[in-house]
Amino acid sequence: MLSIEVAKLKLENPLILASGVADMTPDLLRRAHKEGAGAVVTKSIGIEPRKGYNNPTIVELPYGLINAMGLPNPGWEAFYKEFKNEKFDFPVIVSIFGKDEREFAFLAEKLSEVADAFELNLSCPHAKGYGMEIGQNPEMVYKVVKAVKDTTDKPVIAKLTPNIDDITKIGLAAERAEADAVSAINTVKAVAIDIYARRPILSNKVGGYSGPGIKPIALRAVYDLAKVLDIDIIGVGGITTWQDAVEFLMAGAKALQIGTAVSLRGFKVFKEINEGIGRFLNEEGFNSIEEIVGIALEG
């Protein structure tokens, strides 16, 4: 009942561990799957190792988190060595980032052996020269997706930024470049200020806001994208309960990424949300998730 196919990947349920939630070791990814994730996304991997920003990098709010980690990662070579001999019985989606289409394509070529699919980080709001600075430009989104599609036969998912006037512009650019899916949304650009220090709390000053507070924004993005795209949509942003998950499915998402809820409440959220979706489908007389995907777009 909960199985779904998204971006050519077969998932036993629609929930996916979002990128960058914790130290993404092979054992931790297996644990996420054991506790209910149908697939996992790794931390974003770049060409060179990055330490990330100095602390503080996270501000916890009553309604979510603001983070500015700075894309810390071991670099593609260390990541490849760690994962090349690992076997997984669930899809592992490798998140990659670069400053232009050539870097994205290089990473896709080098990491295709260890990836079931790629998620292109076109939307990080706090790393200069990466992410959102590329992802706000439809032409650059097209170039990056096209370059990766020309390099690998693995499914390609474009992760879209909400920090733009019309998210459908970049969604359509990704579709034109033959992306297999889009994931929407990444974090919303945000700041928090220490009123006694009289300056921003984060070392980078500006960060990305995630959690329950962005759910209506993410839901609206999925709803708008579903009205214009033919490719699959993965909903991301503030999904905390099974009711949230059902809303995203009804808005047109075929799968859902969970991030901040895992950070704040642990892996148990996967089981809770899956069980809630299953109960809802049974009680409402549906036989599969497919039957509710996009149902709120009708009429």
| Continuous segment of H or E residues that includes residue 246 | helix 242-251
Point out the catalytic residue in the list 37, 65, 96, 124: 124
Binding residues: 19, 43-44, 67-71, 121, 159, 185-187, 211, 237-238, 259-260
Residue where the block lists tokens 């499914």: 155
Q: How many angstroms separate the most distant Cα atoms in the chain?
A: 56
Nearest to 233 by CA among 188, 278, 185, 269: 185
CB 239 within 8 A of CB 274: no
Q: Which two tokens stand for residue 56?
A: 């503080």
Binding residues for substrate: 43, 67-71, 121, 186-187
Residue 238, classified by CB atoms within 10 Å of its CB into exposed (0-12), middle (13-18) or buried (19+), is buried
Residue where the block lists tokens 């148990």: 268
Spatial CB neighbours of 228, under 8 Å, sequence gap ≥ 6: 168, 171, 172
Binding residues for FMN: 19, 43-44, 121, 159, 185, 211, 237-238, 259-260
Look at the alpha carbons of 270, 273, 277, 279 in this order and tell me if their dihedral is positive or negative. Answer: positive
131: DSSP letter: T
CA 5, CA 11: separation in Å to the nearest integer? 6
CB 144 within 8 A of CB 122: yes
Q: Which two tokens stand for residue 191?
A: 């700041």
Phi, psi of 207 (to 5 degrees): -140, -170
Residue 101 bears catalytic tag: no
Identity at 33, one-letter amino acid code: H
Residue 111, CA distances (Å) to 82, 106, 114, 170 in order: 11, 9, 6, 25
For the annotated catalytic residues, the residue numbers are 124
